[in-house]
Amino acid sequence: MEVILADKAGFCFGVQRAINTAFKAAGEGNVYCYGPLIHNPQEVERLRQAGIDTVADFTQLKQGSSLIIRSHGVPPAVLEKARAQGLNIIDLTCPFVAKAQQHADTLNREGYQVILVGEKQHPEVQSILGYAGQSAIVVELPGDLDGLSLSGKIGVVAQTTQSYGNFSEIVLRLLRLSKELKVFNTICSSTKERQDAARVLASRVDVMIVVGGRNSANTSRLVSLCREAGKPTYHIEVVDEIRPEWLEGATRVGVTAGASTPGWIIEAVVKWLHAGGKKPVT
């Protein structure tokens, strides 16, 4: 059985930067992360073992503690509150997310009603929304625009992990619904590269294995893309979840992974597949 790893898979620039900085900061003590640093439970556990606890609420932390802001960023009000509490902020907001926040802020200041294309509950979307003003609306799918009463002056930004197809369809519909439309394409190239590589690979193999956290939006999107390419696709977090019957009759298996999937997890999957489903000797 041939095993092919997608050309682009695993940690993106923003996640790699966040992980490296967090592990470095771990040694300093009293370091907390506001929400899981990345959407990968296994890597979050490694961080916990290194001394970084994840907190959902920072108001109980002692003054002088360090608080990591993950790559998704936070709304400005959250940053102000943490600073006012005397916390030392380690801001690991990905520069591409920070750019989307800036664009949302500029559009709002220029009087545009901001349409943010993304998943309503996603922390990155919530962080960008904090800059987008009171009239901002989150739109997930083109159909969400039905029946909305919009201002004539619309500004658009995207969650960085959006698919181009969905984003452009929404922009096209907005073109018909607005008098003035200003669009910032804030989709991150890492996302597109991973999506393109997954699509190409899915067309060449019999089965796709997509590795990544079940809570990872970009991993789930890779799963959807591979399925749309018509290939049986399985989403796993760790190697032990692979079921041998998935691979029956397959001569080529493709592997890809979301931007928040660490290399050591991908490597274990590839080794397991190369070994024909046996635990590799390490």
Task: Show which residues are catalytic.
Answer: 124
- Least distance to ligand SF4, CB of residue 259, Å: 4
Contact between 94 and 127 under an 8 Å Cβ cutoff? The reply is: no
* Beta bridge partner(s), residue 69: 91
Interface residues toward ligand SF4, by CB under 6 A:
12-15, 71, 94, 96-97, 160-161, 188, 190-191, 259
Closest CB to ligand SF4 belongs to which residue?
Answer: 14
Nearest distance from C-beta of residue 132 to ligand SF4, angstroms: 17
In angstroms, the CA 84 to CA 63 distance is 10
Q: What is the dihedral of CA 4, 10, 13, 16, to 10 degrees?
A: -130
- Of the pair 13, 58, the CB lying nearest ligand SF4 is at 13
Cβ distance to ligand SF4 smaller for residue 126 or 190: 190
Give every CB contact of residue 59 below 8 A, 6+ residues apart in sequence. 85
160 or 256: CB nearest ligand SF4 = 160
What is the helix (H) or strand (E) element at residue 270, kind and residue range? helix 263-274
For the bound state, the minimum distance from the C-beta of residue 215 to ligand SF4, rounded and expressed in Å, comes to 15
DSSP symbols for 68-114: EE-TT---HHHHHHHHHTT-EEEE---HHHHHHHHHHHHHHHTTPEE
Can you tell me the distance from the alpha carbon of 282 to that of 271, in angstroms, rounded to the nearest whole number? 10
Nearer to ligand SF4, 20 or 251 (CB): 20
Q: Other C-beta atoms within 10 Å of 220: how many?
A: 19
Gap between the Cα atoms of 57 and 138, Å rounded: 24
The region that residue 218 occupies, defined by phi over 0 for left and psi between -120 and 50 for alpha, beta otherwise, is: alpha
CB of 63 to ligand SF4, least distance (A): 30
Nearest to 39 by CA among 198, 267, 255, 265: 265
- 174-211 b/e (C-beta count within 10 Å ≥ 16 → b): beeebeebbbbebbbebbebbbebbbebbeebebbbbb
In eight-state DSSP terms, residue 247 is: G
Select 71 or 108, whichever has its Cβ closest to ligand SF4: 71
Q: Considering beta carbons, is residue 10 or 61 the nearer one to ligand SF4?
A: 10
